A and B are shown apart, each in its own frame.
Chain A
Amino acid sequence: GAGVSQSPRYKVAKRGQDVALRCDPISGHVSLFWYQQALGQGPEFLTYFQNEAQLDKSGLPSDRFFAERPEGSVSTLKIQRTQQEDSAVYLCASSFGLYNTEAFFGQGTRLTVV
């Protein structure tokens, strides 16, 4: 596709439910990032992949958060046993490579935990 695609755009989950958020990066982009953006805040780094390797997961807030990119393209961010504080917009971004620095963001998935 022409840009980074995320699905679903909106997700309402009951507290305790597991959710899976999908990111389709721009074709050929090596690097993929996940960010969490709370209302009125800047994006907060969650995790980073280079191809299928998860090189940095220091931003994942708890062990309920898990991300994967098994074939080096599509990535899934999974949140287990969702809590209200997980409510946020989850943004995915991709870039061509390590030194081609411009990152392109998807539209995000707005997660609301009720």
Chain B
Amino acid sequence: ELKVEQNPLFLSMQEGKNYTIYCNYSTTSDRLYWYRQDPGKSLESLFVLLSNGAVKQEGRLMASLDTKARLSTLHITAAVHDLSATYFCAVDSYNNNDMRFGAGTRLTVKP
């Protein structure tokens, strides 16, 4: 069974600091996703990573994928308060559209 584990589950950061969220998954997967969810809101797609070594950046967020290690990272650079949210990673495969989510990382950025 495909399992997705994120860590940390809770992260409190100071503004201006850098940090990395980790996402491990248990079996071969073709696609990895990062989503953002604000309280009471739906999920917003941030990144879709399709191949080993893929790196995507948007603003202060950068996501990477290592399929051999079955690991993705979401790096936050110079955090700002607006980044406070819950971040989920999810994986699926071309043979199975059952997208499995991690438990999420609740990020709080403090001034």
Question: A-side interface residues toward B, CB under 8 Å?
Answer: 31, 33, 35, 41-45, 48, 50, 55-56, 58-59, 91, 93, 98-99, 101-108
Contact = CB atoms under 8 A, between A and B. Distances in A.
Contact of A44 (B31, B42, B101): B101
10 contacts: A42-B101, A42-B102, A42-B103, A44-B101, A45-B99, A48-B97, A48-B98, A59-B98, A99-B94, A103-B45
Nearest to A31: B97
Interface string B80-103: 000000001010001011111111
Q: Sort A-B residue pairs by CB-CB distance and give the 5 closest, nearest first.
A: A42-B101, A105-B43, A105-B42, A107-B42, A42-B103
Interface residues of B, number: 23
Interface of B: 4, 31, 33, 35, 41-45, 48, 50, 88, 90, 94, 96-104
Nearest to A99: B94
A93 B45 CA distance: 11
A45 B41 contact: no
A103 to B, nearest CB: 7
Contact of B104 (A42, A93, A103): A42
Given A41-B103, A41-B104, A42-B88, A102 B45 contact: yes
A68 to B, nearest CB: 18
Contact of A108 (B31, B42, B45, B101): B42
Contacts of A107: 41-42
Contacts of B98: 45, 48, 56, 58-59
A14 to B, nearest CB: 24
